[in-house]
Structure formats: structure tokens, C-alpha cells
Structure 1
């Protein structure tokens, strides 16, 4: 007798249909996507050569798959590696900002620049993906509050305080601690971001930096792409005491899909890879060099897969500790090489939503997760900025004045 064709488990098709309908009603706002850096590396920002209106094989993101994924808003990361410092980092960040603006202009029928939560809603009304900018790492401002302000003028609406390396004013999760969280200038950066209406992003920072920022900020914070430390023990994830502080702060942890931050087995694989890399002089926090090392090393040391179920476990842990109003999604597509099975590219979000519906998440709670919480944080940050701008002038304090020689 011939084999019967494989069929989806009972109810899966119906769940996926419900998930897609829900995302049509509440288009997802994702906290972090590295397509701009991929465009730089692959084609030098030539969007004729990298036509994102077509289905691409060289990236995890393109316009057709964003549509398939139910994405209505995307924070495009204007990331540059923290191996770049000073003026080099600032210049490269400006090139990234320029690339995102040109990308939006080149696909103006599908993308719309968004600076506010209201802009995100307006983009939905016109059937376009709201395109927001986020700077990944305080090295992008070169210890200059003036540069921070100019990034805001150019549309940047969050800044991650560090990337993989410390800044002179903040400790990173993946570097040797130096300042114990935030220096006085680091706290001034947070206060100036509050005044501007730029979200303080605590992904990538040390736990001491998270706590110092929460003590300093007048506005809600975000984690643009981090998961739960209790579910996967890696310094890039968020400890429970910080998650528990989010309700009082009003902020949101946007759970990421990066396997090394989702799966304990994949996290252990990365620790092993980092040790092997160190033996040949490659540091794991050197994003580009370490990626080149693991591309070869993994041939003999296969990287374990992560699963949608593990992502769900992180979402449910954040919901349990911080509450349903303080959890979101930051996939980090085009920011790493592999993703959980079923979430390999930006078209996979409905499968994640279907898995949540299967676990009896209400449609109202899913709507908060995929859109509502992020827009609420944006509106709260905007409101704080409006109030502060009535009483607080732009800060003219400098790194040298506040921190001096160390």
C-alpha cells in the first residue's frame, strides 16, 4: 500500500489561519532587523542589486516575506560593529541611516518612514510597513550628546547603550566590566534620550547597566532583542529581577529568536565555539571575526537547532514575571546565521502566533505582544519627552567634564 501523504496535526491549519487573520488586524511591530548591514556587506547599499521587492535567497528579509509574516512595522537597525570606534563608528552609522532612508524612498509604495507611534498607525492605513530606525550601540555617538541629538533628528528612535564591547560610559554584557554599569556621562546619555523621546534600549548591556539605567530613566525602556536568562543562561538575556522591574518602569522586553539566546544547547555550543576561537586569537565579542570563525568550525561541530516551542517558553516566562503588558518581539533577522526551525525568515511570525494560540493565549494578549505593547511604550516615551522639553534644556555636559580621565 502506498504511503499516505503527510498532513498537518489536527487543528494546525485552522490555528495558522487564525494567526494570519489576527496579524492582519494587528500587524506586527518587530524591534530589530539587520537588513541594512546585510545590504552594506552584500552590495554596498545598491538596492538595484539587492531588490527587496523580490524574494531573495541572500537575506532573511524582503518585502514579499514581510507581507507573508504579517509585519506592519519594523525597527531597522542602523548597527555598526563595536570594533569601529570614534569618528569611524559615527561615519558608518550615518551611512547606515542614509541607507535606510534611501531604501524607504526606493520602495515608497511599500515602506513609510515612521518617527512616532501615530506614524506607525498611519502607515497601516496606507498598507505600508512602518519603517523605524534604531541605533545598536552607544559607540555610534562617539561620546557626544550633540551626535545623539542629530541621530534623533535623522529619525533614530532608540539607541542600544552598548553592543558587544563596553563604551567608555557603559558596561556591555559580553565585555569585562569596567565602570560598574553607567558612569555619570552614561546617566546623562539616558536623561538626554528621555528628553529627546529616544527609547533607551538595554539589549546587549550588562545587568549592572540595566539596573543603573532603570534607576536613572524617566521613561519606559525597551530590550529590542533579548530573551529570558532563566530560560537560557547567557549574559545577553535578561535576569528576572530586571524583568520584574518593568511594570513599574512601563518598559517592554522584546523576545528574540537568536538560537544562542533561546536554546540552552545552542548557548552551550557558542561557549564551546568561543573557547575554540580564543585559541586562535579570535574574540567572541568581535562580531565579524567570530562569525567567520564559526562558519568553518561548525562543519565539524554542528550547531544545535532551536525550536518555536523554546521561543514560546521565553515569551511565557517574560509574561509570567513582567506581565502581558511588558513583552514584545524582536526577531533579529539578518543579524545572525540561523534561526529556530519554522522561524527561518520574516515570513515565520504566523507560525509563532499559531503556537501561542494553541497554548490558549487570547487574541487580546497576542495583539498586545505583536503590536500594542510596543506602540504603548513609544507613546509613553513621546509623552515624557514633551513634558521634559518644557523644563529641561539640551544637555551641554561632556564626557570629559563628567567622567574626566579614568
Structure 2
């Protein structure tokens, strides 16, 4: 086929199946540039002066779905309790700005929190806008807070960012703290399965990945990672964990971050992204591969994939390399939709079976004296008749 014919085929596929990107930090760019004040900023949001993402380029890229990252940095406060509470506050601010971004661009973006809503958004000609949280440092060590984030629309949580937390070890921090997952982390994996939250293993240590892949009862994702065998970076996924991912039924969404693509990061280009996708597809099957750019989480995208307008070039590149059309569709978005559906199914089954939720433990609120007083008053009330006085009158 001629290059123009391949480009036309790519554009056709982008209209048939949503290309869903697993990770974009545009909300954090909004935080940094506008301090989250997007009132009256339509012209700038349409054509941003910085970064790889804006409304105009999203439309040019024919993007079908996006997991917007409600990212905030790891706490810097020496008092971890104070730092984690501040991270949770900032997380709520980021969730708020994501929802406001969607609400103020209703002809382009549409909120999505399920596989079904992804399809309805795509069929309406809008970018299905899902939300991920990038690290358990953002939940203030509270499972209750995590469940509330789910109710606010968050559909995946990354177990760590670039810091250890009380649940899991990060990939790029040494020494390790838990040798993978902590005991709390192991219990949390079960709760994430029960509540229907997708588990994201990007940024986590190789041991944490292995343990999670062995524990999780639902498929997991890597929202923005690449292949360790092609580029030996701690953030990338080893052969062992690729095989476990295949058995788990999950998806690795290949990242565009230059240092995850090539040993010579300044040489990273579209060809390297294609190499990682095709390697993963060949090793574990194209049904386990997706796209997770990490746009706006980088200073500069790889050559040929410099911003979100370039998704058609990525799809055309896969076709030109000989990847079958059905496999290209899987990589574009069908795989992550399948994972969403399976996570929803597992959660419904566990909840239907009566599996109990995990809860926060905290110090006693009342002493025995107060409990006794409350109990005695309740016993006294058992013998009272609300209508007795009315009857006597």
C-alpha cells in the first residue's frame, strides 16, 4: 500500500474504534500554568502556549478516549501525616479541575467511568474522559478516601509514584521499604478488586509488580510503561512480569517518555514506540498491549510523536510495520475496554458474594464510661411509649 493509502486506513480505524490513551498530565499543566483557574481561558485551552496537549490538538489527533491523570507530587513535608493530607487536598483540587474541564468543553469531552460510557462518548463524537490517580501517596493512608475517589469518578489508581508509600515500593527509589507490597498493600489489592478500581503498576518496583500480578483477581494495567528488554530502565517491565501480565489478562500501555524508549534518549522516535508495541505484541499477544503516552508529563515527545495530534501517525506506523488491522484495533483501545469490563465484572461478583470491604482503623472515639452511659440510656428508652402522654391527656 502507498503511504497515503495507509494514512487513510489509519484515519478510518480511528473513526471505528476509540484510541484510548492511558495517561496524560494535562490537568497538572493546568495547575502549573493557570493555578487551576480556567475561567475565561478557552482560547488558551484550545491552543496552549506550553506542553503537548490542548483541545485543538486533541481533535486533530482523533483521540477517542483519555485517562486524565489527577496527579500531585509525592509529599515533601518531613511530617508524613501532614504531607499525605496535603496530597489528598491537592488531589481533590485536580479532580475538580478535570470535571470542570470536561463540563466547559461539552462538544469535545464527555465524562466516562465505565466501558459502556466509553462507547457512548465515542459514538457521540466526543473524547471519553476517564480519570486516574497516580500514586497511593494521594489517599492520605485512608481506604475510605480511596473509595470516595472512586465515587468521584476515579477508575484506576497507580500503586506508587516516585516514592515509596505505606502500601508498596516505587521503581526508582532505593533502598526498598517493603520488598514489594506491604501487608497493607496486599490487603488493598483485594479491596481494589472488590470496589472495581483498576490497578495500575506503572512506577512500581519489579517486586511489587510481581506480587500484585500474582494476587489480583482482576486484570491490571500499566498505564504508561515500556519494555525492559528494549530499554533497561527501572520503570520498564521485565520479561517475567510480561509473562505474568499475560496470565493475568492485563494490558501494558506503551509509554512515549524518551528515557523509557531508547538507551540514547535524545534519539527516541516513533520507530522506538513501534518497536516496544510490536515486541510486546509478539511476546505476549497483541490483546495485552495498549497506548499510554504520558504526554504533558515530559518536556518533549519522541520525534514523530511530538504531541497529541500525532496519534494517526502511530496507527499508520503499526499498519506500515505489518500489524494486522484487528490487532491494531486491540492496541488502540479494545484491550483497555476489555480490562474495564472485566474489572467491573469481578467487582460485581465479589460484591454480590458479600465480600466485606476494607476499612480504616483509628483510635478509640469513646471511653468505656461514655459507652456505658449511652447503653444505659438506650435501655431506659426501650420501655418508653411515645404515645403514652397523648393517651393520658
- Return the TM-score normalized by structure 2: 0.87
Output the CA distance in 2 between the equivalents of 1:141 and 1:56.
30
Quick one: which of 260, 275, 278 aligns to 1:316? Answer: 278
Q: Aligned to 1:311, what secondary structure does the other structure show?
A: helix
Question: Which residue number in structure 1 is paired with residue 300 of structure 2?
Answer: 338
Structure 1 counterpart of 2:65: 73
Q: Secondary structure of 2:224's match?
A: coil
Alignment of 1:263-278 (within 5 A): 263-266=262-265
Give the CA deviation at 1:305: 2.9
Give 2:105's aligned residue.
107
Taking the aligned partners of 2:42 and 2:237, their CA distance within structure 1 comes to: 35
Deviation at 1:349, TM superposition (A): 0.9
Cα shift at 1:17: 1.7
Equivalence for 2:261: 262
Task: Name the Cα RMSD after superposition.
Answer: 1.5
Given that residues 142 and 360 in structure 2 are in contact (C-alpha distance below 8 angstroms), is that contact kept between their aligned partners in structure 1? Answer: no
Partner of 1:162: 160
User: Offset at 1:125?
Assistant: 1.8
Aligned: 1:376 with 2:338: yes
CA–CA distance in 2 between the matches of 1:53 and 1:174? 33
Using a 3 Å threshold, how does the CA distance of structure 1 residues 399 and 173 change in structure 2: closer, same or farther?
Answer: farther
Distance 1:333 1:126 in 2: 25
Residue 134 (structure 2) aligns with: 136
Aligned to 1:395: 358
Q: Which residue of 1 aligns with 2:269?
A: 307
Distance 1:50 1:237, change over 3 A: farther
Cα distance in 1 for partners of 2:108, 2:44 equals 10
Return the alpha-carbon distance in structure 2 between the equivalents of residues 336 and 22 of structure 1: 27
Check the 8 A contact 2:72/2:138 in 1, yes or no. Answer: yes
User: Do the aligned partners of 1:255 and 1:331 also contact (CA within 8 Å) in 2?
Assistant: yes
| 1:352-363 map, 5 Å | 352-363=314-325
Q: How big is the shift at 1:397?
A: 5.2
Equivalent residue number for residue 232 of structure 1 = 231
Report the number of matched residues: 354
- Structure 1: how far apart are the matches of 2:205 and 2:101? 33
Distance 1:51 1:145 in 2: 39
CA–CA separation in structure 2 for the residues paired with 1:246 and 1:49: 42
Aligned-partner Cα distance in 1 for 2:333–2:362: 37
- Cα distance in 2 between the residues matched to 1:109 and 1:388: 37
Give 1:67 shift.
Answer: 1.7
User: How far apart are residue 216 of structure 1 and its match?
Assistant: 1.6
Alignment check: 8 A CA contact 1:194 1:217 kept? yes
Partner Cα distance (2:16, 2:58) in 1: 15
SS of structure 2 residue aligned to 1:71: coil
User: Residues 52 and 63 of structure 1 are in contact (CA less than 8 Å); yes or no, is this contact kept in structure 2?
Assistant: no
Offset, 1:24: 1.1
Q: Which runs of 4+ in 1 moved over 3 A?
A: 50-53, 397-400
Tell me whether 1:83 sits opposite 2:81 in the alignment: no
- 1:52-93 per-position Cα deviation (integer Å, ceiling 9, x unaligned): 662323231112211221211100000011135310110011
Deviations 1:140-190 (A, max 9, x none): 111110011000000000000000011122100011111100011011221
Structure 2 counterparts to residues 150-189 of structure 1, below 5 A: 150-176=148-174, 177-189=176-188
Question: In the aligned structure 2, how far is the partner of 1:67 from the partner of 1:343?
Answer: 15
CA distance in 2, matches of 1:220, 1:80: 25
In structure 1, how many angstroms separate the alpha carbons of the residues matched to 2:325 and 2:196?
A: 30
Asked if 2 retains the 8 angstrom alpha-carbon contact of 1:143 and 1:399, the reply is: no
**1:26 Cα deviation (Å)?**
1.2
* SS, match of residue 264 in structure 1: coil
Any conservation in 1 of the 2:24–2:295 contact (CA below 8 Å)?
A: yes
State the SS of the aligned residue for 2:331: helix
Paired residue secondary structure (1:102): helix
TM-score, structure 1 normalization: 0.85
SS at match of 1:192: helix
Structure 1 or 2, whichever has the larger Rg, is 2
Look up the match of 2:250.
251
Describe how 1:201-240 pairs up with structure 2 within 5 A. 201-240=200-239
Is 1:49 aligned to 2:41, yes or no? yes
The corresponding residue for 1:28 is: 19
